[in-house]
Structure 1
Amino acid sequence: MEPTTLRAVMAALRKPETGCPWDLKQDHQSLARYLREEAAEVLEALAALRPGDPATEAHLCEELGDLWLQVAFHAQLAADRGAWDIHDVERAIVQKLVRRHPHVFAEVDVEGADEVLTNWAAIKREEKGQAADHEPRLLDGIPASLSPMDEALEIGRRCAKVGFEWPDLEGVLDKVKEEVGELQAESDPVRVEEEFGDVLFSLMQWARKKGVDPDAALRRQMIRFKGRFASVEDDARAAGGWEQRDLDQMEEAWQAAKRKGKA
């Protein structure tokens, strides 16, 4: 009889003697690269998602399944050595969510999302046994595994919690313009890199305050770029190759693709 649950499939794949040789060779460290890859593919699927569109909905569902497989694989490795299993993973996160949402599962009142985050931070400190006057520094403990983009957002979020934040969105945009001006004024390679970093960091904070996911925005922009450039390439091929097209002709094909996409 074939297994009908992911946990049963993983147990069969990891069963000594009869399991899959590749799966039996894996450990937590060898699987790390696949976890990163699958997480990235989920983000790509999210960027391409058009809610209600069957193809992109199915693609996201499939990619989430691949990511879930990685969680189940790590849990099976732990179960094999008698440490914990997938049920313990679920139990732990359920307990954490219930504990950190007393406004839902207990008699605690809150006045909006900001107070929810404040309570969450306080409960988290209590869980770790940290007194308010012995907390780690505000920007300590940011996971090293975060991408530079996500780390920039996390830095901004943490600073905003204590009031180190622009009072309005226009102020952030003014800062972006200021940094762009400083970048344009620089010629020294080292300073150019520093100013370019300032521009990127400021843009990340504008996106955070605006409620834009910069990772998703960039991924969607790249999807649009690839689609439009494919039209430019088709036009060049129809003309006999890239050498038959100058920049003005390529720009014309690009604009035609852009108009088509908007239509």
Structure 2
Amino acid sequence: MTPTSLRAVMSALRKPGTGCPWDLEQDHGTLARYLREEAAEVLDALAALEPGNPERERHLCEELGDLWLQVAFHAQIAHERGAWDLADVEAMVVEKLVRRHPHVFGEVEVSGSDDVLVNWAAIKQDEKAGRGETARKRLLESMPASLSPLDEAMEIGRKCGKVGFDWEDLDGVLDKVGEEIRELQAESDLDRVEAEFGDVLFTLVQWARKKGVDPDRALRRQMARFRGRFRHVEDHAEANGGWEAQDMEAMEAAWQRAKAAGTEAP
């Protein structure tokens, strides 16, 4: 009988003697790369999402399923050694969400999302104290090593902002972006150019944070637009003698036609 739940499927795939040889060979360490890959594919699907577009909606649903599979895989391996299982994962996150939302499941009142974040941070501190984690940690320690550079830059800005080390407004950040770009333009030594370029990127990420823009999503969406428009340039080249017969003017004209048509990646 074919199993119908993800938990049952994973149990069958990992069953000694009758399961899948590849699945049986995996452990938490070997699965790490697949977790990273599936998370990245979910982010790409989110960047490409057009709410109401059936194809894009299905793609996001499918990618989330692949990510869920990774969670179930790790839970099955833990279950086999008698540690915890998928039900424990769900129970733990439910308990945490209820505890950290007293304004929904308790008597606490909040006036907006800022109050929610303040309460959340305070509750996390209480949780750490309850576990005996009293040693002082520096503010920028303990960030996940798996964060992308963009996400880490965002998290650094958030943490510093919570203690008041931040620009007062968006104009202040833009002024700093302009300053960093001028410093970049003034450099010629490659090491200094790299350092100043990093300053520009970091400051732009902080502008995005204060503006409420997700820089990772913005960059993924821009790359999707670029791929879609460049396919139009490539099609134009193939129809007109190949790349060798093209000059920048012809390719730019094809690019602008794709841009005017709103060409995007599928």
Tell me the TM-score normalized by structure 1: 0.97
- Aligned to 2:38, the other structure's residue is in SS state helix
Deviations 1:216-249 (A, max 9, x none): 1111111111111111111111111111111111
1:52 aligns with 2:52: yes
Question: Which residue is 2:22 aligned to?
Answer: 22
| TM-fit CA distance, 1:254 | 0.7
Letter in 2 for 1:34: Y
Letter in 2 for 1:207: A
Range with greater deviation from structure 2 (126-135 or 57-66): 126-135
Question: Which residue is 1:126 aligned to?
Answer: 126
Q: Percent identity over the alignment?
A: 71
Assess if the C-alpha contact under 8 Å between 2:225 and 2:263 holds in 1.
no
CA distance, structure 2, for counterparts of residue 17 and residue 190 of structure 1: 57
- Aligned to 1:129, the other structure's residue is in SS state helix
- Closer, same or farther in 2 for the Cα pair 1:146/1:100, shift >3 Å? same
Number of residue pairs the alignment of both structures matches: 263
| TM-fit CA distance, 1:135 | 3.6
| TM-fit CA distance, 1:133 | 8.9
Tell me the TM-score normalized by structure 2: 0.96
Deviations 1:96-154 (A, max 9, x none): 11111111111111121111111111111111117999542211111111111111000
Question: Which residue is 1:62 aligned to?
Answer: 62
| Unpaired runs of at least 5, structure 1 | none
- Closer, same or farther in 2 for the Cα pair 1:59/1:132, shift >3 Å? closer
1:34-53 maps to which residues of 2 (within 5 A)?
34-53=34-53
CA distance, structure 1, for counterparts of residue 135 and residue 83 of structure 2: 32
CA distance, structure 2, for counterparts of residue 55 and residue 250 of structure 1: 30
| Unpaired runs of at least 5, structure 2 | none
- Aligned to 2:261, the other structure's residue is in SS state helix
CA distance, structure 1, for counterparts of residue 143 and residue 34 of structure 2: 22
Letter in 2 for 1:259: A
1:67-106 maps to which residues of 2 (within 5 A)?
67-106=67-106
Question: Which residue is 1:140 aligned to?
Answer: 141
When the two chains are superposed, the root-mean-square deviation of aligned CA atoms in Å is 1.6
1:249 aligns with 2:250: yes
